[in-house]
Amino acid sequence: MAAAQTEHPDSSNVPERLIAHLDMDAFYASVELLRYPELKGQPVVIGGRRAHEPRTLPDGRRKYARLRDYIGRGVITTSTYAARDLGVFSGMGLMKAALRAPDAILLPTDFDSYRHYSRLFKAAVAELAPVIEDRGIDEIYIDLSDIPGVREAVGHDPLGGVKALAREIKNNVQRATGLTCSIGITPNKLLSKIASELDKPDGLTVLTRDDIAGRIWPLAVRKINGIGPKAGAKLAGLGIETVGHLAATDPALLIQHFGRSYGIWLHESAHGRDARPVVTHSEPVSISRETTFERDLHAQRDRAELSDIFTRLCEQLAADLQRKGYVGRTIGIKLRFEGFRTVTRDHTMDIPTQDFATIRRAAGECLKRVDLSQRLRLLGVRMGSLSRSATPDQPLHGGTRKTRAERSANAPPAPENLPLF
DNA sequence: TCTGGGGTCCTAGGACCC
DNA sequence: TCTGGGGTCCTAGGACCC
């Protein structure tokens, strides 16, 4: 291979990368505070699906819903720092949260608004640092390595250049959105993700390799992105609580308990090693729609209702595919039963589609392969094996109409009997 | 008072082909 | 007749993340 082309990023005379992780502070809640500034400082929780919009009283004051008034299956999406002080966090069921903070204010989620501010903050960052990896609505990675001046010392501070750039980025985000963010900057994504959390909210943390032992090793293993509830509990069972402890553990032991690939990853992560690049573009792998019911539904007794929901999910999925310009070959369904047991079934077709009727029929066939004697709490439909449709955003006349031959080659035969549900 | 909705990636077994 | 690997695709489930 041509030597000039094969410089390895880990090669010793290549300088360390400078990777930033930027995380918006309590993003959804902060966007809501822009709209309702009088709530600043109060415990506020965002979440739930039922209508609990604030009402404006005749005298102009606003009346907000309280957590204690909520009945249903929602969870907290975000809470303000004042609410977190009361022990309510994202992911927590609203009914459970109401026990801890009954007087906290409850607002409904407004994704259109969050998406708007998401675009604003990302554009504000891109003006100063264009190499951005999207990690969802409220966070990004940024590769700062090649930005002029970033490696220059300022006064006696060898990291002065990066810090100055980071402050500029924070200011630009603040100017564009009125919102604060926290930034971590280190040689890689793994460490930066951890670092951005160390000084929240409105924080800035710059770490080098030399800081790993002092700043990273004292942290709980769960702070590592990729160690979740299961792995965390398993590590605790082995007496491994901190990252430093994990780093000191014989990799052979980790491999023995977690398998080769995850075991090695645990060891590397604990030592702060991560060569993943900042990825500026990616294509979706799947698109899905799902819904949890307010009460568990029974396949026979609630057949009509379930059938309507199932059809609506398929319609929404087809519309999403058409709007985003994708076709897919693998249709999948997801069912969650009372007791939270989850089952999936999928079917791969020869010809990709974005057509509602084809999706509905294939999903119906998948449904026939599931035992429906237990009551259901969730139903979902997914399309995988995606490719771009021929004409994105502009489906051929009236959607993707297919010839009869194509259809029969593609979808399972239409059911003779009534569809399940 | 348990546990939303939208995703990604990994594993593991079986089918099928060379 | 029996015995092989390797590679790819498909399916189901599960861990994890925002």
Q: Which nucleotide is nearest to A342 (CA to C1')?
A: C13
- Asked if A44 and A125 touch (Cβ cutoff 8 Å), the reply is no
Give A137 CA → B12 C1' in Å: 33
- The owner of tokens 């957590």 is A67
Question: Does the CB of A113 fall within 7 Å of any strand C atom?
Answer: no
Q: pLDDT per residue over A196-213, tens digit each?
A: 999 999 999 999 999 999
Residue A343 lies in a domain: yes
Q: What is the CATH number of the domain that holds A46?
A: 3.40.1170.60
Instruction: From residues 40-99 of A, list those within 7 angstroms of strand C by Cβ.
Output: 91
Pick from A90, A109, A128: which residue ends a domain? A109
CATH assignment at residue A137: 3.30.70.270
Task: Check whether residue A16 and residue A43 sit in a common domain.
Answer: no
Number of domains in chain A: 4
- The structure's pTM equals 0.90
| Crossing angle of the two packed helices A229-237 and A251-258, in degrees rounded to 10 | 120
Helix (H, G, I), strand (E, B) or coil at A416: coil
Domain assignment present for residue A276? The answer is: no
Write out which nucleotides of chain B lie closer than 7 A to a protein Cβ: 1-12
Q: Choose, from A53, A139, A268, A315, the residue flagged as catalytic.
A: A139
**Beta bridge mates, A78:** A46
Q: Is the CB of A339 under 7 A from strand C?
A: no
**Active-site residue A139, yes or no?**
yes
Whether any strand C atom is under 7 angstroms from the Cβ of A231: the reply reads: yes
Q: Which nucleotides of C are covered by protein (CB under 7 A)?
A: 9-18
What does the pLDDT look like over A298-335, one tens digit per residue? 999 999 999 999 999 999 999 999 999 999 999 999 99
Which residues constitute the domain of residue A131? 12-24+113-213
d(C-alpha A184, C-alpha A98), whole Å: 33
How many whole angstroms separate alpha carbon A177 and alpha carbon A256?
Answer: 48
My answer on whether A404 and A309 are in the same domain is yes
pLDDT in tens, A232-282: 999 999 999 999 999 999 999 999 999 999 999 999 999 999 999 999 999
